[in-house]
A and B are shown apart, each in its own frame.
Chain A
């Protein structure tokens, strides 16, 4: 698949790669000596997946609604694990984030001849933070999200082929 929409190659890709390599190094350092239990493997897979998501979201920073939503989700998950009280604080931040993206939101779900509300809702489930986006934002964010996902896939795909 050709790539006419590549983001600035020196920034997003390299930021993502740098962060992800760093995270991977940390994960490798945690690797126990005998690690073939399926639980361990699953846990490591989860950690890698989270690291990939995190690296991507941090590389995009808060310039996008979806990356903000993803960062919030990741942070609140780790807060909840360490300290249940901070979860409440993150909740407030989340409301602020959501408010920012939804103040143009009043007529999201009109069904006056716009026959694709279902599909739009389905898309909202897939894109992080989508539930709060109006249609305009949703389409815009989705385009950017797709670009980032394809970047991730491109970077990962040589894995395991060696």
Chain B
């Protein structure tokens, strides 16, 4: 019996070449799995042969690797297609027709003798080129329920039917737990283990838990680089430009520190049941241990705060906002702007004090959703106010996340037009306004526009911007309007950039069929149906785009859209000194109990996420805005 918690039977990390880079088995959990199946067998249902006995076997690493490779072959990609296509067949995850089957997969093990068996639910994460597979313990019933879904011969189930995937997942918190395990394992193998950033307005930036720790226990910490600035000038994490869209990336994975991972697992889940997935805490305890400092006398010290702070006391808050924008400059399509923000905190407070932080202006900022760190007890939000009470952990942590509209004019607005004057030459025009309506202390640290042409090779460009500098790469043109170090503050500027871009002639590149996602199979373009578009009255732009799009590859379901099908310019910037949502914290209103003299500092920063100027003259993706029913 799984018992409803989250116990893990095994973890595998596979390389893109289908070898096992790391594996960990939890014999204690495996025994419970066997016991659950044997108990069910004992219930006297004789017709369970074939599926009943087989899952009790446990696969060797090489068998898992082979099964994973085989799955990739059957499903088209390692993660599968996630939706049922005309090549899906009974027994494949894609037959279930749900995007979550890219993350919760089944593996079919074919034993040489006798029946094969299935591993499910295997939680899959692709990180740093590796595939992290985590197999949690589930009871036989949900396992069978999923098996039934794989075998259903009908056209695909709906949420109204019994035994649908949603209800299976609802009853399996262990899958959610396995996701979190896979996530932190992924963080470790990619080295993505920095704590969230807090920024102080004066002095050097502050480090993470270890810095606090070393300060208090008096040992020298390893030299740890301060978390990198949120938005590097080049491209953000979610940059569509040149984003790897395929699973078929071969090789090129960075080796990771297996000892580090092994050590973490012993601390986080020694017997397969996860109890702490905080990397910093677990590794600190494993590596540093504890000194004999006294424990609090009156209350339990939280498990997520293994160490107490000692030293000069202060509390720092930082608002970090990311703005996503789709700017169309069209009458028929409204612009879309959305801010996702987080408040990070670093509380250098001795003992186990409670901190209360009133949030005001929630309604004015139209904060749509917010969620809090698990140490927070939030009051019910009233009209415009919500008070957070929390016992802060050590080190940097994300106090809250929120989503809000952009409650101020877009920092960069205007339009981008690109028109193809011939197949290999385009004329473009930017007309932008930066920081209109932004008063001091808002500062735009930098601003750069990128025109990506991932499927064309830029031969040359011509034209001079009214401000800033231009450079080109093989597949893009970059226009730096505001450079780092020369921040734009207290005024708005207009920037125009008319010009032309010339491309090298397109070489018809037949894309390797394995490169295309599985959903392309079966829809080969019929040369018969080719039509003479030029005669169709379509514009030259449309004609060229359509021609180019003939060998467009299908994107992964993780992408929001087929970026390469569009012409657009991506804006990157960073703004400090304020928030775009308007949601701010008043550091004076922060209360600490028991009362101590601890100054509260607060800083704000906003940066661009997917901030896109769609070509006003071309096709653009859009989405309907919700309306009231």
A and B form one complex: no
